[in-house]
Structure 1
Amino acid sequence: MTGDSEDPNDEVQYHLEVGPGDVAPSVLLPGDPERVETIVDDWEAHEIRGDHREYRTATGSHEGTPISVTSTGIGSPSAAIAVEELARVGADTLLRVGSCGSIVPEAAVGDLVITTGAVRQEGTSKEYVREDYPASADHRVVSALVAAAEELGYDYHLGTTCSTDSFYAGQSRPGFDGFEARDSEANIDELREAGVVNFEMEAASILTLAGIYGLRAGAVCTVYANRETGEFRTEGESKAAKCASLAVTYLEKMDEAVEASNSDHWHAGLSIER
C-alpha cells in the first residue's frame, strides 16, 4: 500500500503548482520557460497560473478557444512530470512545441516538423512500458497541426522524430574535447535511412504517456539545425507556437464536428469551418 509520503499530489500539484481549474483541456508544452511569453503573445488574453522551477503555466484563449501552456524544461524526465500533473488537473490534449535538429536535407532551418511518431531513444518512457510500445501521435492532433501550418503558409514536414536523452552524444554530436560516442555516425545514418526526420528530447515520452493514459498528444518543432547542410540558426522561433495555438482552435472545431455527426472519430468525410 502506497503511503501519502509517496504521492505528494493533493489538489495543487507538487511540481507545477497548479490545481483543478488552472489549465484548459488543451496544453502546449515548450521546453524553455521563456518561450511561454512568445506563445501567449499570439493569444487574446492570458494569466500566469503557476511558476515553479522549470514549470511556468499560463492559461488564456486563442480565437475564443480556451488554451494553456506549460514549460517542461529540457528532456523527457521533466516532460513526463508535466504530463502526469497536467493530466491530474484535467488536461486531455498535449502539444509539444519546440525546436529540433533535422537530419534530412529537405527539412531546412526555419521549417516545421510535425511528428507522426517517435523513436524512443530516451529512458523515461521505458520506466512506464515495454520498449516496443509505440510512441504515436494522435491522428486528430496531427491533422490539426497540418491544417494550421497550411493556413499560416509555413513550410512543414511530416515524419518520425527521434527523442534522445543527450543533446550531444545522443544526437551524434561531438562532446567535450571532440569526444565521439560509440557508433555515433552509424547511428545517425541508420535513423536517416529508416526515414527519421529530426532529433529532439521530449516527444517520445509525451506521446508514450499520452497513449498509456488515453490522452491526445502531438508535437511540432521548428528546425534550428540541419545536420546535412551544417546550418544552425535560431530562426522562426514563433512558428511552432503559432501553429500549435491555431491547431488547438482547429481541434475544438473538429471535436464539435465529430459530436454533431455522431461519429466516434474524426475522419476525412467530416468538414469544419472556423
Structure 2
Amino acid sequence: MTGDSEDPNDGEQYHLEVGPEDVADSVLLPGDPERVEKVVEGWDDHEIVGEHREYRTATGTHEGTPISVTSTGIGSPSAAIAVEELARVGADTLLRVGSCGAIQPEADVGDLIITTGAVRQEGTSKEYVREDYPASADHRVVSALVAAAEELGYDYHLGVTCSTDSFYPGQSRPGFDGFEARDSEAKIGELREAGVYNFEMEAASVLTLAGIYGLRAGAVCTVYANRETGEFRTEGERKAAKCASLAVTYLERMDEAVEEADADGWHAGLSIER
C-alpha cells in the first residue's frame, strides 16, 4: 500500500503535467515533441496544455471532433508512462503515430503501415503481463485508420509490427564500430518470413497496456526506410498524423452509429457516411 504522496491518480499528472480537463478522449501519440506542431497543422484549432521533459500535449478539434496529441519520446518505457497518465485523466482511445523501418520489399518509402498487432520484442510490456499476452490493435481503430488512408489516397499496408528496445542491434542494425548482436541476421530473417512488416519502438507497449486497461488503441507509421531495398528518406512525415487525425473523426462517427443502432459494438453493417 502506497502513501498519498506516491498516488499519481488525482489531479495533474506527474510526468505529463495535464489534468482531467486538459485532454480529449482520443489522443495521438508521436514520439518527437517537435512533431506535435506538425500533427496539429491540419486541425481546426489547438492549444498546448502541458509540456514537461519529452512530453508535450496539445488539445483541439479536427473536423469538429475533440482530439489531443501527446509526444512520448523514444521507446516503450516513456510511451507506457504516457499511456498510464492519459488513462488516469480520462483518455480512452490512443493512436501511435510515427515513423518506421519496413522489412518487406513491397512497403515503399512514404507508404503507411497500419498495425494489426505487434511482436513484443521490448521489455516494458513484459513488466505488466506474461509474454504470450497479445499486443492487438482494436478492430475499430484499424477500420478507422484504413478508411482514413483510403479517403486521403495514401498507399498503406496492414500487418504485424515488431517493437524493439534498441534502434541499432535490436533491429538487426550494426552497432558502434560494426558490432553485431547475436543471431542478428537470423532474427530479422525469421520476422520477415513470418510476414512482419516493420520495426519501431512503441506500438507493442501501447497496445498491450490498452488491452490490459480496456482502452482501444492502434498504430500507424510512415515508412522512412526499407531494410530489404536499402532505401532511406524522411518522406511523408505528416501522412501518419493526417491519417490518424481523420481516423479519430471516423471513430466518433462509428461510436454514434453504434449508439443509434443500439448495437453491442461496431460492425461493417453500420454506415458512417461522411
Structure 1 segment 1-274 matched on structure 2, within 5 A:
1-274=1-274
Identify unmatched segments of 5+ residues in structure 2.
none
Report deviation, 1:89.
Answer: 0.4
SS at match of 2:42: coil
Report runs of 4+ in structure 1 exceeding 3 Å deviation.
none
Q: Which residue identity is paired with 1:50?
A: G
> Alignment identity in percent?
89
Please give the alpha-carbon distance, in whole angstroms, between the structure 2 residues aligned to 1:129 and 1:77: 15
TM-score (norm 1): 0.99
Report deviation, 1:3.
Answer: 1.7
SS at match of 1:132: coil
Please give the alpha-carbon distance, in whole angstroms, between the structure 2 residues aligned to 1:270 and 1:230: 42
SS at match of 1:69: strand
Please give the alpha-carbon distance, in whole angstroms, between the structure 1 residues aligned to 2:117 and 2:8: 32
Identify unmatched segments of 5+ residues in structure 1.
none
Report deviation, 1:181.
Answer: 0.4
Please give the alpha-carbon distance, in whole angstroms, between the structure 2 residues aligned to 1:66 and 1:7: 28
For residues 5-64 of structure 1, the C-alpha deviation after alignment (integer angstroms, 9 at most, x for no partner) is 433443000000000110000000000000000000010100000000000000000000
Please give the alpha-carbon distance, in whole angstroms, between the structure 2 residues aligned to 1:7 and 1:241: 33
Please give the alpha-carbon distance, in whole angstroms, between the structure 2 residues aligned to 1:240 and 1:22: 23
Q: Which residue identity is paired with 2:87?
A: A
Please give the alpha-carbon distance, in whole angstroms, between the structure 1 residues aligned to 2:7 and 2:266: 36
Please give the alpha-carbon distance, in whole angstroms, between the structure 1 residues aligned to 2:241 and 2:189: 30
Please give the alpha-carbon distance, in whole angstroms, between the structure 1 residues aligned to 2:55 and 2:264: 35
Please give the alpha-carbon distance, in whole angstroms, between the structure 2 residues aligned to 1:119 and 1:246: 26
Please give the alpha-carbon distance, in whole angstroms, between the structure 1 residues aligned to 2:145 and 2:86: 21
Please give the alpha-carbon distance, in whole angstroms, between the structure 2 residues aligned to 1:6 and 1:67: 29
For residues 126-157 of structure 1, the C-alpha deviation after alignment (integer angstroms, 9 at most, x for no partner) is 00000000000000000000000000000000
Please give the alpha-carbon distance, in whole angstroms, between the structure 2 residues aligned to 1:135 and 1:146: 19
For residues 166-202 of structure 1, the C-alpha deviation after alignment (integer angstroms, 9 at most, x for no partner) is 0001000000000000000000000011110000000
Please give the alpha-carbon distance, in whole angstroms, between the structure 2 residues aligned to 1:262 and 1:245: 26
Aligned length: 274
Q: Which residue identity is paired with 2:262?
A: N
Please give the alpha-carbon distance, in whole angstroms, between the structure 2 residues aligned to 1:247 and 1:85: 22
Q: Which residue identity is paired with 1:69?
A: V
Q: Which residue identity is paired with 1:272?
A: I
Q: Which residue identity is paired with 2:33?
A: P
